[in-house]
Structure 1
Amino acid sequence: MAGGPTAGPAAPAVHPVDWAFAARTAEALTVAGPRISAREARGEAEGLRVAAAASVPHVHRLTGLEAARDLLDSQVLVVDRPTWSRANTQSFAALLGPTFAHLQATRPAEYEAATTPVATRATALEMGGILAWLSAKVLGQYDPFSALPGPDGVPAGPAGGRLMLVAPNVVQVRREIHVDPADFRLWVCLHEQTHRVQFAAAPWLRGHLRSEITGLTGGLFDKAESLPERLRSALAAANPLAGSVRGRGGGVASHAGGEAGPAVTSGRPSLGLLGAFQDEEDRERLSRVTAVMSLLEGHANVVMDAVDSSVVSSVKTIRRRFDERGDRRSAVDRAIRRILGMDAKMAQYRDGQRFVDAVVGEIGMDGFNVVWDAPELLPSEAEIHAPETWVARIRAEA
């Protein structure tokens, strides 16, 4: 493929994934959440809504981004596990529409074979199983892609996307680490609201990231040997936005955007199935997407860790216990995370946080904030690992 499909082609009426069946499968396979009364559930939902609103002024103060003053174009939803899974199938469908249109145009016979009821349900079954597992791990997720038109041409969410807070998982993790409920809710919301502010501060970012993801998934479809491999890889690559709060030493898994598959060499964490199909062009695309995700996740972690006890009274206890929790996972849980490429996602958080910390330490938050001005000011993956090179480039272009 020369350059991959663009984001422009209209999505075909029938996808190689039965998204509705994937959502139903995820709901059927989702494990039950913590036991909680109806009264407690209502209180938790209200507490999360309060925390989401309360976190915005702190994000504004810590980031200095004026976009944090007005986030009315997006929405905040408190959801359960099946609702989170269903929402992600909607976003996947919107993101992969141009890629499927490209496949339909370039390989019509293969596409027709891939869109039989049996084939679409088989892929949806696998997707639903992954989402069911992940739905029990995610604390929150800002999804900018819900504003994209789905297969029916109708966006799933408002123009600014949607922030989802998965209430049963917030309750479960909070109980496991024994921390103050209100403090924990606010700590989680600081991270997720930062993502919301990032996309508000950089209106071009949604289209830029979608274009990169479309090129990457299109390349995977063109180069993999079998359609099942292409589908799994495209689904893994399609929505890499982090769906949870995580820290330097561990945390809760991201949502279905995590790369899936076996490990690759070179000393880096597993990139999953994505690592199996890359030529030079694909590697460059993946590097750009990795750099953006490292930036977004690292920046959000910097913000959530920048609050002091006057904002979140038990912030140091929360961070310590939250990180310790990541070290107590079972062997099965660790194996699943390796299969889904979660090590690579964890590296994005750590690398991005080191980058942001270093840049802010050198040129201040205002200097760092030029990164939201234009795509060409985004750091490369090499610059993420060598922040001084990005700083030097920005100073030279000033």
Structure 2
Amino acid sequence: MIDWDVAARAGKRVVRAGPEVSLHEAKSAVAQLRESALAADAHVSAITKIAQPPHTAPTLVVDRAGWIDVNSESVGHLMAPLVDKLASANATSGVGKLVGSRVTGTEAGVVLGFLASRVLGQFDVFGPRGGQLLLVAPNIIDAERKLDVNPTDFRLWVCLHEVTHRLQFTAVDWIGQYMRTQIADLVDASDLDSDSLKQKIKEVAGELKDRKRSGDREPGLGIVSLAQSPQQRAIIERMTAVMSLLEGHAEYVMDAVGPSVVPSVAEIRRKFKRRRAGRSPIDRVFRKLLGLEAKMRQYAEGRKFIDGVVDEVGMDGFNRVWATPDNLPTMTELRDPALWVKRVQPLGITPGAS
């Protein structure tokens, strides 16, 4: 259904050029990012109170083309079960499949090209090679220049976020499998055929037009809203809750290090928050279509949850969330941390603990 080799080539054709840097600047940035990722391990463990486990997840400093290569392979691997199901439900001739996969591959490449110039870092957990921490050097350099912040501080700050994600998936051994199970359940619950898929895409496009006409600024779910039966909506809600938890946790760590570790952390956070809001009209439309504005809401809701729980029961109390999937917050609890604290109290949490 999608030729991911075509997607990678298309993405690299359309991706914008990175900032101009000298060879010396490029080598220096790569070396410093690797050092920052290594240094971030100890800082993340100190804040989260979770020891860094032995892991084989490497740190890769990549350019935009390299990010596209990794993600075209990773997304293709992740989507394979859904694509197989769609293919079996929409059997066409061999020629039709070949042409269709190239067309959709090109379209997927446009999306990859859009994202490749914006992503600062990522912990890729679903690729065929296992976990990899990616740091996109040209995007980090571009961001620090536009924000006019201290490069050394900013690079460590970004690494703190991504290393927190690596810790989540390597120290909490069931998180990755939990997400894979949710995705598998979502695939099993899908009943898409060609006509229903086209209809649902039209519905998403219509929703975007309606929101634009009405001035509605709520982000919506973009293409994530495709094919949502009641069963699928429940699965997506669970996935949204856990992703909000993971993103909020990483956001908390980024700022909790304080000026003793990142001297300009307050300035960076202030300017970075303004950067997230200051998108061009075209950029905002694209982000709505992809559901990326919903991801921004995940950062905010997840961070509010972490703040609320840690204020009430301390980091040790919050860390009960990693004990079992049953301890994950629901969307309702995510928006009201006190409900989560009340539910998990029988596990030994004492409100007001430090």
**TM-score scaled by length of structure 1:** 0.80
SS at 2:135's partner residue? strand
Query: Aligned match of 1:346 in 296, 299, 305?
Result: 296
1:131-210 pair list within 5 angstroms:
131-146=112-127, 155=128, 157=129, 159=130, 161-210=131-180
2:241, 2:78 → 1: CA distance?
19
Structure 1 match to 2:34: 49
1:334 and 2:317 are equivalent in the alignment: no
State the number of aligned residues.
Answer: 343
Cα deviation for residue 179 of structure 1 reads 1.0
Q: Where do residues 1-398 of structure 1 align in structure 2 (5 Å cutoff)?
A: 16-66=1-51, 68-70=52-54, 72-104=55-87, 107=89, 110=91, 116-146=97-127, 155=128, 157=129, 159=130, 161-222=131-192, 225-227=195-197, 262-263=207-208, 269-398=219-348
Deviation at 1:79, TM superposition (A): 0.2
Distance 1:120 1:230 in 2: 20
| 3-state secondary structure, aligned to 2:16 | coil
Between the aligned partners of 2:24 and 2:195, the Cα distance in structure 1 is: 53
Give deviations 1:327-367, integer Å, cap 9, x for gaps. 33222222222222222111111000000111111111111
Q: Deviation at 1:262?
A: 4.1
Quote the sequence identity (%). Answer: 42
Amino acid aligned to 1:213: I
Q: Deviations over 1:152-201 (max 9, x none)?
A: xxx3x2x4x00000000000000001111110000000000000000112
CA deviation vs aligned residue, 1:357-397 (integer Å, no higher than 9, x gap): 11111111111112112211111111111111111111134
Indicate conservation of the 8 Å contact 1:220/1:230, yes or no.
no
Root mean square deviation, CA, Å: 2.6
1:38–1:187 Cα change, 3 Å: same
Of the structure 1 ranges 327-336 and 279-288, higher mean CA displacement relative to structure 2 is found in: 327-336
CA distance in 2, matches of 1:391, 1:268: 29
| Structure 2 segments unaligned to the other structure (5+ residues) | 349-354
- Classify the secondary structure of the residue corresponding to 2:126: helix
State the alpha-carbon separation in 2 of the partners of residues 178 and 267 from structure 1: 29
Cα deviations by residue, 1:77-132 (Å, 9 ceiling, x for unpaired): 00000111111111112212222344455x2x526669721000111111000110
For 1:317 and 1:274, the matched residues in 2 are separated by: 34
- Normalised by the length of structure 2, the TM-score is 0.90
Say if 1:370 and 1:111 are closer, same or farther in 2 by CA, change over 3 A: farther
- Counterpart residue identity of residue 57, structure 2: S
Structure 1 match to 2:351: none
Q: Which digits, 9 at most, give the CA deviation of each residue in 1:272-329, with x for residues without a partner?
A: 1332532210110110000010000000000001011110011111111112223332
Counterpart code for 1:145: F
Structure richer in helix, relative to its length: 2
Paired letter, 2:66: T
Distance in 2, Cα, partners of 1:86 & 1:92: 10
Q: Quick one: which amino acid aligns to residue 62 of structure 2?
A: V
Structure 1 gaps, min length 5: 1-15, 147-154, 234-258
- Assess, with a 3 A threshold, how the Cα gap between structure 1 residues 176 and 272 changes in structure 2: closer, same or farther: same
